[in-house]
Amino acid sequence: MQGRTVGDIGGCRGINIAANGRLLTCGLVTLWIGGAMCCALWANGMTSPKRSMPTEMRVLAEFEGVWRIAREIVPDRGPPAHFEGQGVWAPAAGGLDYAERGMLNMAGAAPMVAERRYFWGNDLSVYFDDGRFFHKVPAAGGEAAHWCDPDQYHVRYDFGAWPRFDVIWRVVGPRKSYRMTSRFSRLEEP
């Protein structure tokens, strides 16, 4: 099959079918099997039918500016934690520097300042502040993963309510096991 674009499948527009017959769509995988099209949700269940699916591709410049972050961290064992703060994407050579800072509140502990930094490349690749590759953000929203031995990190980006978006991490392993939901809303444009 030649690569081609189809109009509207499952609410997603302009979907590309690769030459190998695999069609990737907004959190769904559609396979061409014997001329029939079969759809299935991603196996790890992170795709939520309650969320609207994006129809646009995000580009790096759209993230530049100041964003409010509301984050909930729910461990498999123990009390949840909450983070409130700001994230700033600022111009840097080859992309945008990202820095977030805010207050982390955990049951039984005094509130504390929490911060972290990443570099986002022009192709939406994310790097740790020491230059190691972290993961690539799917431009239309969707899933990515990162292995940090011995723990597996799965992430889902939901851009369906842009310029608000959610980032949902599910971390599973012997050292860490939690779900972290971050809600971003724009405060200032560049």
Domains of the chain: 4-41 (no CATH), 60-188 (2.40.128.20)
Q: Which range, 30-34, 51-55, 89-93, 145-149, is most confident?
A: 89-93
Neighbours of 160 (CB within 10 A): 19
Q: 159 pLDDT band (50/70/90 cuts)?
A: very high
pLDDT digits 0-9 by tens, 73-108? 999 999 999 999 999 999 999 999 999 999 999 999
Long-range Cβ pairs for the range 62-65 (8 Å, 24+): 62/162, 62/163, 63/89, 63/96, 63/98, 63/120, 64/89, 64/90, 64/91, 64/96, 64/189, 64/190, 65/89, 65/186, 65/187, 65/188, 65/189, 65/190
More confident residue, 56 or 7: 56
Residue 3 pLDDT more than 80? no
Mean pLDDT, to the nearest integer, of 163-171?
97
Cα dist. 20→4, 31, 34, 69, 167 in Å?
Answer: 11, 9, 13, 40, 30
Quote the mean pLDDT of the chain: 78
The verdict on pTM exceeding 0.85 is no
